[in-house]
Amino acid sequence: MSETTSEPQPDAQRQRPPERVAVIAIHGVADQKSGDTARAIASLMVNAGSAQVRYSQGDCDSFIMAVPPLKAMAGNRSAKPLPRGSVRKVQPSSQAPDSLGKAFEQSTRSDFQREEWVVGSSAPSAPVVVPGGGAPAPAGTRAPTPRNMIEADAGIAFSDYLLSKWKGADNDTYEATRIRMTRTASGAGTAPQQHRQQQVDVHEMYWADLSRLSGALPRIVTELFTVVFRLSLLGRDAVDRASADAGRRQPDRQPPRRWHWLTNLQRGLDWAFSNLLANLFSQLLLIGLLVVAWGVAEPHTAVLRTVLAVAVPTLAAWWYCYRHAARPSSRLAAAVFAALAAVLLHAVPAHWVVGLGCLALLALLFDYVLRVAAARFPAMRAVGLVFLAVTALALLGHVVAEVLASGGRADLHSWVRGGLRAFEYMLFGIVVWWAAAVVPFLLWFVFGQMAARDGAAAHGSVATGRLGLMVSMASFVALSMAIWALLTTLVEFGAADTSYCPLIFDVGTGCFPKGSTFLHLRYLRSTETFVLAAGLTLALLLYMIVVLVPSVLAEIRNGLGTAQNLGRWLSGGYRRLEAVVTGLAAMSVIVAAVVGVILLLARCGILPKDLVGGEIFEWFGPVSELVLKPLVLSAATAAAALSAFGGVLSRYVPWLRLPLDVVLDVDNHFREFPRHAIPRARIFSRYVALLEHIAAQKYDRIVIVAHSQGTVISAELLRYLQHRAQWQADAGIDDRVTRLWPQLQGRIHLLTAGCPLRQLYAQRFPLLYAWVGRTTAPGSSGPLASDVGVNRWVNLYTTGDYVGRWLWCDPPPAIDTVGGHATLWNPAPAFAPMTGPERDVCVGIGAHTHYFEQGGTYAARWIDALVN
C-alpha cells in the first residue's frame, strides 16, 4: 500500500510548473549604458555555475511599459468621494506661482521645513492620522500631514515631499531589458529527470538617464556649477533639519537659542555666497569678456558698425515676421522699419553702435546662463539681473561722462575704460563682502561648536553643514581664480592700448599708460591674498588623497598589504575626517578674517608688506605666481576633463571619474529643483512601474541586486512603499501603492554591494537615516530587513570600499567592530547559509567597482542563495 501511494509523487513533482523568480538589477554611480547591469548579472550567474547549480541563458529582449507619475501621499486627503459639483481644496501658497517673493523664500530654506511644505502656508487645524502609533483612524479621515510624517519618519517624509513637488509629465515610458534564464539544481546521485528547475528572469532598473543633469549648456558647466553650489545647500538643509528636530524636543517646540543662531547664520552665509559673492565674480567674468571684445574691435569700429547696422534690423524684422506678421502688409512694414533703422544706425557714432552691441549680446548670453541657474537655484536670476543692471549703469555712466568731458570725441577706448571702472566697483564689492563676512563666520563656528554637543545626530549635521559650506566656497574661489587666470592674457591684451586712471585701487600709483598693467597688478595682489584660502582647500584635498590612495590602488587591482590593513587605514581616515574638517573650519574663520583685514587695509593704501610681519605676506606673491596659478589651472583642467569625458572614463577607468559621480548622485538624490526634473521622484516612478509589471507576472520570488547608489534608491523606495501602504490603509485610502504592496510583501529578497547607507548617508544626514544606525538589539546596531520590507538582506563589501561597506556592527560610538572585535576587516570564510534575516559579507581586499565582474564568486553564490 505504501509503495502504491508513493509512486505517483515523483510524477506529480515533475508535472508541477517550475518556480518563477524575478531578479531586478539596479546599477550604481557612473555612466552605464542601458542593459549593461542586467547582462553583467546574467553573465556572472551563467559563468559561475557549479556541479550542483547551473544557469543556462535564454532569450534576451526588452519591453516598453508606461510610467505614470507616482503621486505624493500628502495630497491624499480622504477616501470618501466628493459630493457632486464640489472641489477638493488644497492649502494654497500666499505667494503667486513663480513670484519673486516666493523665489527669495525658497532660496533661503527648503519648503520641506515649512508648514504644509508650501511657502506662506498656515498649519492645518483638522484632525490627522498619527503614523506609527495610536489606534487606526476610521476610514475617510485624512492621510498623514507633512508635520506628522516628519515626526514619524523624516526620511519617508522627505521622499513624499519630493514627490509632492515634482511637476513631471504624465506620459512617460521606459524600455526595460529582460534576460530569461533557467536555473537547474541537482543533488548528488540524482537522475536528470529529478533535477529541480526554476525560471529566472533578470530585469534591469536603469536610472542613470534620470539622474544626470541635462540642458543646452555643455555638460561640464552644468555638473561643475551644480557641485560647487549644491554642496552648500546640502549643508544648510542638514543644519535646518537638526534645528527643527531640536525644537520638537522642547516644550514650546522652538529650537534652543544656539540652534536658532546657527541656523540663521548658516542660511545667511549660504545665501550671501551663492547669490552675492557668486554674482560679483560672474560680473568680473562678464566685464573681462567685454574688455576683450571692445579691445579687439577698436581698430575695426567702422566696419563692425556697418555689419551691426545691417544685421540687427534685418534679424529683428525676420523674427517679427516669423512670430507675428502673417499679412503681407505687416511684413512690408517690418522691412521698411528695418531699412530705416539701418540708416539711423549708420548716423550714430560707430563706438556707440559697437559698444552697445557687444554689451547687449553678452547681456543676453548672461541672462540665458541665469535662466539655467534659476531652474536650480530660485533667486539667482533675479539677483543676477540686479548685478547686471548695476554693471551696465556703471559702465555706461563712465562712458557718458567721458564723452561729455571730451566734447563728444570718444572711441572704444572709452568703453574699455568704462569696463575697467566697473571692474573696480565689482572688485570693491568682493572686498566689502569678505570684510562683512568675518564676524558671521566667527559666530557660525562658535555656535556650531555649541550645537554639536547635543548628540551624535547634531554632531553629524553640524559637520555636514561645515563641510558643505567650506568645500563649496573653496571650490568656487579656486574655480574663479582658474577662470580668471585663463582669461588674464586675453583681457590684458584687450586693455593693452588703453590708458586708465584707477578710482579705488592703486590710486597712489597714478594713471597707468596701459590698462593691462593695472589688471595684472590686481590679479597678482588678489591671488596673493587668496592663496591662504587655496592652501586650506589643498590641505583637505591632500588629506583625502592620502586616505584614499590605498583604495584607489585596490581599485586597479594593485592593492597594498592585506584586507585588514586596507580596512583599518580607511576606517581611521574616515574617523578623523570630522576632526580635520573642524580644524580647517577654525582655520577658515581665521583666514576669512585675515583676508578681510588685508583687503580693507589695501583699500586704504596699506599693503601687506607695510604691516608687522609683512615679509610673510610679501612672500605669498611669488608663491602665487610660481605655484598657485599652475596648480589651480592644472586642477581646473583635470576637473574639466573628468566631466567632459566622463562617459568614456566611467567605462574604461571608472575609479578615475568615480569621486565626481558619487558627489553628483548624492546631490541628485536630494535635489528638489528644477521642479519638472526631480531625480528621486522620476526614479521612484519608473521603479514602481517596473515593480507593478513584475507583480502582474505573478513571480514566486523577487530578488533585488543593487550596487552603490542603487542600494540607496532600492532601500528608500521599499521603505516608502511599505510605510505608505500601512499609513494609507489606516486612513482608508485606496491607491496604486496600497494595491501594489500586498502583492510584493513576503516575496522580496535584497542583495546590496558597496552600500553607502551607513558610511555616507547616515553619517552625513543622520536625521533622514536614523533607521540605518540605530541600536536594534543589545550589542548590535544597523537596519533591519523588516525596515525595508524584505525577507532577507545580504550586504557585500570590500575592506577598501570608500563609498560603502558594512551595515551591521556594535552600537555607536563604535563604527567598525562586531562583538568588540575588529572582525569587519576580515574576509568572510567559505559560503555558509544565513542564520538570520540580515547578513554582512566581507569579500576581502578591493574597492568599489568590481563586485559583479566575472570571477566574483561571492556575489554569484549569494545571488543564487537568494534566488533559491
Predicted pLDDT of residue 600: 62
Beta-carbon count within 10 A of 525 CB: 20
H-helix segments, 348-378: 350-374
Max mean pLDDT range (47-56, 336-345, 739-748): 739-748
Question: What's the first-to-final CA gap in the chain, in angstroms?
Answer: 34
Cα–Cα distance, 102 to 82 (Å, whole number)? 31
Res. 622 pLDDT band, cuts 50 70 90: low
pLDDT tens digits along 301-339: 999 999 999 999 999 999 888 887 668 888 888 899 999
Residue 111 lies in a domain: no
Range 372-393 average pLDDT: 92
Spatial CA neighbour of 277 closest among 535, 476, 504: 476
Contact (Cβ atoms closer than 8 angstroms) between residue 620 and residue 598 = no
Res. 77 pLDDT band, cuts 50 70 90: very low
Spatial CA neighbour of 851 closest among 206, 41, 50, 200: 41
Range 229-257 average pLDDT: 93
| Cell numbers representing residue 181 in the block | 534564464
Res. 667 pLDDT band, cuts 50 70 90: confident
Pair (716, 636) in one structural domain: no
pLDDT tens digits along 738-776: 999 999 999 999 999 999 999 999 999 999 999 998 887
Residues forming a β-bridge with 21: 200, 701
Pair (196, 263) in one structural domain: no
Pair (637, 682) in one structural domain: no
Residue carrying the nine cell digits 550567474:
45
Q: Return the H-helix or E-strand segment holding 777.
A: strand 775-777
- Amino acid identity, position 389: A
pLDDT at residue 82 greater than cutoff 80: no
* The domain boundary residue, chosen from 605, 633, 660: 660
- Domain limits at 181? 2-30+33-71+170-205+678-867
Residue 80 lies in a domain: no
- Amino acid identity, position 788: V
Pair (579, 721) in one structural domain: no
Sequence-distant (6+) residues with CB within 8 A of 763 are 460
Pair (197, 290) in one structural domain: no
| Cell numbers representing residue 692 in the block | 507593478
Spatial CA neighbour of 451 closest among 187, 261, 315: 261
Pair (716, 647) in one structural domain: no
Residue 91 lies in a domain: no
Cα–Cα distance, 563 to 560 (Å, whole number)? 9
Pair (39, 6) in one structural domain: yes
Residue 669 lies in a domain: no
Phi, psi of 221 (to 5 degrees): -65, -50
Res. 665 pLDDT band, cuts 50 70 90: confident
Residue 81 lies in a domain: no
Pair (626, 538) in one structural domain: yes
Pair (239, 320) in one structural domain: yes
Residue with the bigger pLDDT between 2 and 100: it is 100
Residue 196 lies in a domain: yes
CATH number at residue 684: 3.40.50.1820
Pair (414, 505) in one structural domain: yes
Cα–Cα distance, 480 to 281 (Å, whole number)? 7
pLDDT tens digits along 118-164: 876 544 433 444 444 444 444 444 567 888 889 889 999 999 999 99
Spatial CA neighbour of 639 closest among 655, 659, 668: 659
Res. 86 pLDDT band, cuts 50 70 90: very low
DSSP letter at 543 equals H
Residue 132 lies in a domain: no
Pair (749, 609) in one structural domain: no
Percent pLDDT > 90 in the chain is: 45
Range 88-101 average pLDDT: 53
pLDDT at residue 166 greater than cutoff 80: yes
pLDDT at residue 14 greater than cutoff 70: no
Predicted pLDDT of residue 136: 41
Contact (Cβ atoms closer than 8 angstroms) between residue 118 and residue 125 = no
Contact (Cβ atoms closer than 8 angstroms) between residue 161 and residue 111 = yes
pLDDT at residue 80 greater than cutoff 80: no
Range 490-517 average pLDDT: 88
Range 784-792 average pLDDT: 96
Max mean pLDDT range (124-128, 368-372, 819-823): 368-372
Predicted pLDDT of residue 164: 93
Cα–Cα distance, 813 to 177 (Å, whole number)? 43
Pair (297, 198) in one structural domain: no
Domain total in the chain: 2
Q: What is the pTM of this model?
A: 0.87
Range 352-380 average pLDDT: 91
Coil, strand or helix at 631 = helix
Contact (Cβ atoms closer than 8 angstroms) between residue 463 and residue 481 = no
- Quick one: 192 exposed, middle or buried, by C-beta within 10 A (0-12, 13-18, 19+)? exposed
Residue 863 lies in a domain: yes
Range 839-854 average pLDDT: 86
- Residues in the chain, how many? 868
Cα–Cα distance, 449 to 446 (Å, whole number)? 5
